[in-house]
Amino acid sequence: MTESTYRIQGATGEWEVVIGLEVHAQISSNAKLFSGAATEFGAEPNTQVSLVDAAMPGMLPVLNGECVRQAVRTGLAINAQINKYSRFDRKNYFYADLPQGYQISQLYHPIVGEGEIEISLDEKDPDAHGKTIGIERIHIEQDAGKLMHDQHPTMSYVDLNRCGVALMEIVSKPDMTSPKEAGAYVKKLRSILRYVGSCDGNMEQGSMRADVNVSVRKPGDELGIRTETKNVNSVRFVQMVIEYEAQRQVDVLEGGGEVVQETRLFDPDKNETRSMRSKE
């Protein structure tokens, strides 16, 4: 195993970075997770919305079996445990692009358990033995819709085409310790998903995006408080988030402050993250 020597030089000495990624991958399927509505990219707003997706009264979800098969296929490709029993849960939150008022997800009993992905840090030889990154779980869940804030000066528009689209959330263990490792992990995971056909991996279209969890600590110390930067949609941006967020946290800690566990957003134009909401 190749250990990363990536460190941040602070005023009080060296700091280690600890990284975990939650990758949301849109499952390759012609229909949504619980409805027969289409999932093609680029359709006119609100033209791929069934009565189930719009949460009309009395509508009952019916599980799309192909989405389950694709998640199992992905689990087998990363040598993961396939759970014979899995269950869906309601994750309640109220937001304008979520008509049901809850997301159907798998909080307690995911379909795929622990697995692993081996990454190479040698860009010229992607198959070279590098480092093994643990996978915590893969669960299936619905995507939310999309709010568009740039169509009108005083109102936000809602597009529900993505609402109910099936996602795999692939949760890594906090085994990565440098931006380069995180980039290699995303690239390897994307190639596996494309190879087994469970996701097209088009990050620029939003069908694969990463939530980036970053914390810092003095070498050998306990894990620090982490932040989660949501919906990062390129390998380069994942690496930029880690570099910026790790340096920001070191500056906060060395200035006598405390890192707040929160959800943040990345602004690629300014190359910075900013606070979005606190996290329980």
Q: Which residue has the higher pLDDT, 106 or 129?
A: 106
pLDDT tens-digit map of 213-235? 999 999 989 999 999 999 999 99
Q: What's the mean per-residue pLDDT of the chain?
A: 94
**Sign of the C-alpha dihedral, residues 77, 79, 82, 87?**
negative
- Has residue 92 been placed in a domain? yes
Look at residue 147 in the predicted model and tell me its pLDDT.
92
Split into its structural domains, the chain has a count of: 1
Q: Is the pLDDT of residue 124 over 70?
A: no
- Has residue 3 been placed in a domain? no
Look at residue 255 in the predicted model and tell me its pLDDT.
95
Look at residue 39 in the predicted model and tell me its pLDDT.
96
pLDDT tens-digit map of 86-103? 999 999 988 889 999 999
- Has residue 56 been placed in a domain? yes
Confidence of residue 250 (pLDDT cuts 50, 70, 90): very high
- CB-based contact 228:209 (threshold 8 Å): no
Confidence of residue 276 (pLDDT cuts 50, 70, 90): confident
pLDDT tens-digit map of 206-215? 999 999 999 9
* DSSP category for residue 156: -
How much is the pTM?
A: 0.93
φ, ψ for residue 29, nearest 5 deg: -160, 145
Q: Which domain holds residue 236?
A: 8-278
Which residues fall within 8 angstroms of residue 271, CB to CB, at 6 or more apart? 240, 244
* Tokens representing residue 64 in the block: 């799309």
- Has residue 21 been placed in a domain? yes
- Has residue 81 been placed in a domain? yes
Sequence length of the chain is 280
- Has residue 132 been placed in a domain? yes
- Has residue 2 been placed in a domain? no
